[in-house]
Structure 1
Amino acid sequence: MIPLLNSPESLTAFGEGADAVDTALDLLANQRRRGVLEYLEESGGSAPLTELAVEIAAQEAGAEPNAISDHGDVSARDRRAVRISLHHTHIPKLANADVVDYDTATETVTLRERGRTLLSRRESVQGPPR
């Protein structure tokens, strides 16, 4: 059963104590959000939304790079579906928690210090990436 919340902000408040743990776990619970954070960290902290969508779609498809494309055989439809999901759900949730900045004019996502903190919390629970 999902408890009722007093405000939507309580879903993404990134404070101290038990709420911070709940928020961190909520943000990291989704594979796409984890993928966004990991990719931003690996790519220097910033990436266009379209690039993130292509990367996440390739990860989800398990696509291996080939001689023609760095993203294997990921269809345009899959890339578009991931982009829409990132734009309307995952990036806003991360931005509301001050984990990333999202510039809507340039559609650029930038990892914030709280995002790096969130990644370090993930590693302390799951261990370093393989």
Structure 2
Amino acid sequence: MVPTISDFENDSTAGSLPTHTIYDLLSHRRRRAMLRRLDEHESPVSLSDLSRWVALGEADSDGDGVRSERLRNVRISLYHVHVPKLSNAGVVAFDRAERTVELLDDGRALLHRLEALDPSSEPNEHGPST
């Protein structure tokens, strides 16, 4: 059975996020990749490591390597767009001084939603281990 929006409106695993926010947060592949990577770690992950991991995943899917320009672009977009968006929604904690990101409980709930929406999606296995 294919999930519908109404399936998620009454789902108690969603945390406190409204359905439209969930879809918005999951709409970009960089945010999905970040959430999956953060879920693999108990402690905060440096923005540098997270950027490198996301860039490697994109390079694999695009069929080319990670160039310094791609890594720079990913780091900038994570810092200025994607991490703040997830932080403002309360799914990650972002320590600007330390430049670290940590997954919160609502972030884990968001990942459960992602798995329900796309059970065939696999986490990127090509990123660097941290």
Report the TM-score, using the length of structure 2 for normalisation: 0.75
In structure 1, runs of 5+ residues without a counterpart are 1-13, 64-71
Q: Which runs of 4+ in 1 moved over 3 A?
A: none
Counterpart CA distance in 2 for 1:50 and 1:100 is 16
Q: Relative to structure 1, is the Cα distance of residues 119 and 45 closer, same or farther in structure 2, using a 3 angstrom cutoff?
A: farther
Q: CA deviation at 1:73?
A: 3.7
Task: Quote the RMSD (CA, aligned, Å).
Answer: 1.9
Q: CA deviation at 1:46?
A: 2.4
Identical aligned pairs, as a percentage?
40
1:58 is aligned with what amino acid?
L
1:46 pairs with one of 44, 47, 50: 44
The correspondence of residues 85-104 of structure 1 with structure 2, limited to 5 A, is: 85-104=77-96
2:26 maps to 1:34: no
Report the TM-score, using the length of structure 1 for normalisation: 0.75
Counterpart CA distance in 2 for 1:39 and 1:51 is 10
Q: 2:55 maps to what in 1?
A: 57
Secondary structure class of the residue paired with 1:77: helix
Higher Cα Rg: structure 1 or 2? 1
Secondary structure class of the residue paired with 1:86: helix
2:105 maps to 1:113: yes
Which one scores higher on RCO, CA 8 angstroms, separation ≥ 6? Answer: 2
2:67 maps to 1:75: yes
Secondary structure class of the residue paired with 2:90: coil
In structure 2, runs of 5+ residues without a counterpart are 1-14, 123-130
